[in-house]
Amino acid sequence: MLLSADTHRQGGFEYDAGLLWAAIALLGLGLVMVYSASIASAEVSRFTGGRSSYFLSRHLIFLVASVGLGLFLFQVPMSTWQRLAPWLFLAGVASLALVLLPGTGREVNGARRWLSLGIATVQPSEVMKFFAVLYAADYTVRKSALMQSFKRGLMPMVGVMLVVGWLLLHEPDFGAFVVITCIAMGILFLGGMNAKWFAGLGVLLAIGFAGLVVSSPYRMQRIFGFMDPWADPYGRGYQLSHALIAFGRGEWLGVGLGGSIEKLMYLPEAHTDFLLAVIGEELGFVGVTLVIMIFAWLVLRALAVGRKAVTLERPFPALVAQGIALWIGVQSLINMGVNLGLLPTKGLTLPLMSFGGTGIMVNCAAMAVLLRVDWENRALMRGETL
């Protein structure tokens, strides 16, 4: 019922209109808000030549390329993704390792997260989120008979995730580590992992995260800055205090599109990590609520696609759809929580909206795969063969 409630037919092609239009709405609103949030920083940056439209033009190029990539990836059958999943995951791990090698990784603001390919810069941790969804789904299907076994079902995945976590924490990219861990754990649980082992692993992860925070003065500062940003508003609480000021200025309906004061070099990363704060200031409570509702609708549609694949006995596509829902849901919740002062500051963008070439391309790739799962579901329901 949930899957067919939003069906649309165009030239004989059926698709989930709610899912597609939610993604288009986020991409379109993101383009507008990235331009609004980046004008001031583009005008004063020596890297942009003082062009106010610098980030807009780049984001538009990323968006066009991402849509093109999505259209191409939509043609790839889910059986091919399942076959390629382990190899793509290995390629992702190799790229994470390559970032850490001297002379290959590009360092920005103390973090080494980027690979320069000449004409473009790629962030492997973003790509790894997509590959983690595919690999975790494939692993769970292959090991479905062993999901109740700690040694043969759970431990191999834990070992793999420890390697990925070690690489991510050395960049460092703690936010990506949290998202990828949630993806892997969520897919394992949905795939039938023993509930006791899941609960135990959850406790161990919580202890491990606490240990990582306590062992790092940098992360400790972020934690304390999040708990009371006004204690040091010009230091560790600077970003959060200005994000909260932005939300406060926006009130119910906002100060109007383009009217933000905080984006005028007060709020760092206004067009990336803190885009929601600019939305809150310019479009107010109503604008933020609309963004949250669109994300919630997209996640619900993705879960509905996954549930339909389950009823059609398609475990890999089902877990991929549910994994993408987890990914988009968790990352958007963390980004929103950071902007609103509910979570410690993390270097995570708002999916489908924030500026960032790799992030937008990977998000569009995920949407294409999600629509492919839906398309194959509908084809099977019509009695067609894939």
Residue 8 has pLDDT above 80, yes or no: no
State residue 114's pLDDT score: 82
- What is the reported pLDDT for 10? 60
Which tens digit of pLDDT belongs to each residue from 107-118?
A: 776 677 888 777
Q: Residue 252: helix, strand or coil by DSSP? A: coil
- Report the pLDDT value the prediction gives residue 217, as an integer from 0 to 100: 72
pLDDT greater than 80 at residue 35:
yes
362 Cβ contact partners less than 8 Å away, ≥ 6 residues apart: 126, 127, 129, 130
Q: Report d(CA 320, CA 305) in Å as an integer.
A: 10
Give residue 9's pLDDT band: very low, low, confident or very high (50, 70, 90). low
Confidence of residue 14 (pLDDT cuts 50, 70, 90): confident
pLDDT tens column, 121-178: 889 999 999 999 999 999 999 988 777 777 777 788 888 888 998 899 888 888 899 9
pLDDT value at position 59?
Answer: 96
Query: Which run of H or E residues covers position 113?
Result: strand 111-116
- Centroid of chain to Cα 241: 24
Which secondary-structure segment (H or E) carries 79? helix 78-100
When comparing pLDDT for 97 and 230, which is higher? 97
Does residue 210 surpass a pLDDT of 80? no
Residue 322: the pLDDT is 97
Q: Higher model confidence: residue 193 or residue 39? A: 39
For residue 262, the model assigns a pLDDT of 95
For the stretch 60-89, pLDDT in tens is 999 999 999 999 999 999 999 999 999 999
Query: What value does the mean pLDDT take over residues 187-203?
Result: 81
Q: What is the pLDDT of residue 223?
A: 67
Whole-model pTM: value is 0.93
What confidence tens digit (pLDDT) does each residue in 316-356 have?
999 999 999 999 999 999 999 999 999 888 779 999 999 98
Confidence of residue 219 (pLDDT cuts 50, 70, 90): low
**Token output for 31:** 């383009």
So what's the pLDDT on residue 6?
61
Per the structure block, which two tokens stand in for 239? 């970003």
The least confident of 56-65, 205-214, 215-224, 331-340 is: 215-224
Q: What is the pLDDT of residue 199?
A: 79
Mean per-residue pLDDT over the chain, rounded = 88
- Which backbone phi and psi does 145 adopt, to 5 degrees? -75, -10
Other beta carbons less than 10 A from residue 365's beta carbon: 20
- Those residues whose C-beta lies under 8 Å from the C-beta of residue 66, and which sit 6 or more positions away, are 360, 361, 363, 364, 365
pLDDT at 2 over 50: no
**Averaged pLDDT, 23-41:** 96
Residue 1 has pLDDT above 50, yes or no: no
Q: What 3-state DSSP class applies to 329?
A: helix
Sheet holding 105-108, edge to edge: 105-108, 111-116, 121-122
- pLDDT, average across residues 209-233: 73
Residue 341 and residue 349: Cα distance in Å, rounded?
15
Phi and psi of 286, rounded to 5°?
Answer: -65, -45
Model pLDDT, residue 191: 87
Task: Give the least confident one: 158-172, 193-207, 215-229, 273-287.
Answer: 215-229
Mean pLDDT, residues 243-254 taken together: 96
User: In angstroms, rounded to a whole number, what is the distance separating the alpha carbons of residues 89 and 133?
Assistant: 9
pLDDT for 3 equals: 43
